[in-house]
Each structure stands twice: as C-alpha cells, then as structure tokens.
Structure 1
Amino acid sequence: MSDQEQSGVTGRVTDLGRDIGEYIKQQRASAKISLRQLSKLAGVSNPYLSQIERGLRKPSAEILQQIAKGLRISAEALYVQAGILDVPHGGPVVDAVRADDALTERQKQILLDVYESFRRENATSEQPPVE
C-alpha cells in the first residue's frame, strides 16, 4: 500500500472515530447526562470517554456496548454509527422511524421494539389452527 493510500485509510478511521465520538456526545447531551455521569453509568473512565468524544480514540465494540447501556440506547445504533454494522433495513415503517430526527435514539428503539412485538404477535395469531 502506498503512503497516499495508507494516509487515506488512516484518515477514514480517524473520521469514523470523530463521527462516533460526536454521535455519543450528541446522545449524551440529549439525555442531559454529564460526561462524568455517563462515565460512571458505562463503567468507562472519564478521560477515556472524553477522548472518544473528541475523536482521539476509536472505541471497541465492547466499550460501545457499555456506552449504549449508559445512554439507554441500542448498541446497534452505536455499531452502525461506528461503521461496525451496516445500516439495517426493515421496510417503510422502520425506515421512517430511524429517519425521524425529532426522536431520540432511545425513543426510536422503543418504537421499533413495540412495532416488532406487534408484528410477531400478528404473525403467530394469523397461523391456521392445528387440527
């Protein structure tokens, strides 16, 4: 790999770190949680969490899961934002909920959980009775 290609890859990784850090910071702000509070809730050191938010560190999937738990949002949302998972597809209702900027990640996840529970319930009730 050439130096130019290497620097492009490094730049993309740095951008991902900045993107996930900014996303975590936005989620923390919308939840009205201080950096120190999130640090305690997630079990991640305050300095390390600060470095993640500033894009200086790229957290592992395990750390993202802990942060998601502290923020009370789905780990999947953080994985997608960090580039670990592809954006899931799920039809027009799921896409509309995910695209709604007026909802927090937690609200989106709750709506999607309720929606999926209704779909599962209807799928089992529509099955013909066993004779």
Structure 2
Amino acid sequence: MASSKVGSIGEYIREQRTRAKISLRQLADVSGISNPYLSQIERGLRKPSAEILAQIAKGLRISAEALYVQAGILEDRAADTDVQASIRADLLLTERQKQVLLDIYDSFRRENEADDFDAGAPDDPREDEVG
C-alpha cells in the first residue's frame, strides 16, 4: 500500500510540473533538489520527506499542503465546504489557481466571522446613557 502512495505522489508531481510547463531540470534548479532525485520521486522509486515536498511545492508554485495530502502526510480537509470541495475538484484549474481561490475564500470567511462576532458582542452600556 505504501508503494502506491509513493507512486501517486510522484505521478502528481509530474502532472503538476507538466501543467506548469517546467522541465525536470528547471524544477531541480528552482527547488534546489537534484535532477536524479526528482526523477526517482516522479517514477515512484523514492519517498520524499516533508521538507523535500515543501521545496518541490515552492518550485512548482503550489501549496505544500496539496503535496502533503497527496503523499499521505496530512489528512484531506474533512470540513471543507461545498465551495472548497468544488474548487479542489475542478480539473480545469491548476493547483496554484485553486490555492489562490481557496486563500481568497478563506480570507472572506474569516472576515465575515469576525464581523459576525463583533455584531453579536454585547453593546457597551455607556452608549445608552443620555449625556
């Protein structure tokens, strides 16, 4: 079972690299990982560490979280909203586009949660005083 996970992360990295139109050598240069090691990862022969995945993610300009989930290091977000799940499942979007959309969506949700919290806070009793 572990070998299929290793292969799937390699295939996923290759797919993302191909979509980004980056050669293996270019990814090696921008990520600081050797070309042969990247090749072994893509072919499912080596299992990358979280640190290596973070470097690859930076080189591909995608979220490290996406690679961690694919590699089985992190659990996929079970609490995703329908919107988040739809964004993640959209095959027409690149990982970078998905991450940007998710970041924007999350920032709007946090902003609105803060507004809801402020609106639900008890009023300052001094405001009701007639002065």
Structure 2 residue corresponding to 1:107, chosen from 97, 105, 115: 97
Tell me the TM-score normalized by structure 2: 0.87
Tell me the TM-score normalized by structure 1: 0.87
Where 1:119 maps in the other structure, the secondary structure is helix
RMSD: 1.1
| Runs ≥4 residues deviating over 2 A | 128-131
> Structure 1: which 5+ runs fail to align?
1-11
Q: Greater CA deviation, 28-37 or 115-124? A: 115-124
> Structure 2: which 5+ runs fail to align?
125-131
Q: How many residues align?
A: 120
Could you report, residue by residue, the CA deviation over 1:45-103 in whole angstroms, capped at 9, with x for unpaired residues? 01000100011101011100110011010111001111111111311111111111111
* Percentage identity across paired residues of the two chains: 64
- Which amino acid is the alignment partner of residue 28 of structure 1? R
Write the distance in 2 (CA, Å) between the matches of 1:123 and 1:13: 40
Quote the residue 2:54 is aligned against: 65
